[in-house]
Amino acid sequence: MITTTQALLRLAQAGGYAIGAFNVYNLEGVKAVIGAAESECSPVMLQIHPGALKYGGPPLVALCLSAAERARVPVAVHLDHSSSPKAISEALDAGLPSVMADGSHLSYAENVSFTREMAELAHARGAAVEAELGRISGTEDGLTVAEFEARFTDPRQAADFVAQTGVDALAVCIGNVHGKYHREPDLDFPRLAAVRAAVDVPLVLHGASGLPEHMVRESIALGITKINVNTELRDAFIGALRDRLAQAGSPDLVELLDGGVAAMQAVVAEKLRQFGSSGRA
């Protein structure tokens, strides 16, 4: 059943667990995420990256919304990491109930201005807005942020940012990175606790692919209520296809794609258990 992002996040915030938000690019990704959520009896989010939106357009949005409506568990659909007012407006026009307005590359004042404008646009259409305060390093879908450009979330700015922009959820930067971690992850948990104390909106952790389970659980205990996963799903899908194509004989296309779905679904199911949302639907 389709639901709103805010409904899912508020329940997670009250229940002490996190909602898994999984980036999808095609039917196979959608089937994997919803299949895992139904098998785990878990709420879940389908997330569309700007690159995927550019590639799939309104048909991809329609696919996600239709699948969410038919699911046996609560499913929200969300636009991830968009810095484009045009793309955000088009996503809202296509029916997405929540978007991420990413002004993290801007100065603080510019981020406030951009985010407030996008929040007003979304709220006028009954949609919710996630924003980012700070700047997460790493690479995802062609978007790269060098480590020297990364900025941690300032707890002293967090309350002001939320008050000025009216955002519904806040993505934090506490040492998490997009894509793969090239050294041992080192999350700043005292900073996360300080941000949690400063604001009451749901907090979001990007860059969860590759984080050790104990760090994920500590993040949730300190107030994270939405966790994004992308890289591990892509790797699972591509790896499954590569392994099957390396075998002798030409595989049937449906068989090939089913193998990719199964690989992604296993990753999603494991994450849902890790996030504590299994059995919460």
pLDDT band at residue 149 using 50, 70 and 90 as cut-offs: very low
- pLDDT tens-digit readout, 207-222: 877 788 999 999 999 9
- Token digits for 154? 């300032």
| Structure-model confidence comparison of residues 248 and 254, the more confident one | 254
- pLDDT tens-digit readout, 75-130: 999 999 899 999 999 999 999 999 999 998 899 999 999 999 999 999 999 999 99
* pLDDT score recorded for residue 88: 95
Cβ 190 vs Cβ 175: under 8 Å:
no
Share of the chain above pLDDT 90, in %: 80
Q: Which residues are catalytic?
A: 80
Residue 20 has pLDDT above 70, yes or no: yes
Q: Which domains occur in the chain, in start order? A: 5-275 (3.20.20.70)
pLDDT band at residue 232 using 50, 70 and 90 as cut-offs: very high
- pLDDT tens-digit readout, 187-208: 889 999 999 999 999 999 988 7
Region 39-47: what's the mean pLDDT?
Answer: 98
Residue 175 has pLDDT above 90, yes or no: no
pLDDT band at residue 148 using 50, 70 and 90 as cut-offs: very low
| Structure-model confidence comparison of residues 175 and 71, the more confident one | 71
Lowest mean pLDDT among 24-38, 83-97, 166-180: 166-180
Mean predicted lDDT score pLDDT of the chain:
90
Residue 181 has pLDDT above 80, yes or no: no
The Cα–Cα gap between 143 and 236 comes to 20
* pLDDT score recorded for residue 208: 74
Which residues does 281 contact at the CB level (< 8 Å), separation at least 6?
37, 41, 42, 43, 72, 73, 74
Q: What Å distances lie between residue 84 and 99, 153, 181, CA to CA? A: 11, 22, 27
Characterise 81 by phi-psi region: left (phi > 0), alpha (psi -120 to 50), beta (else).
left
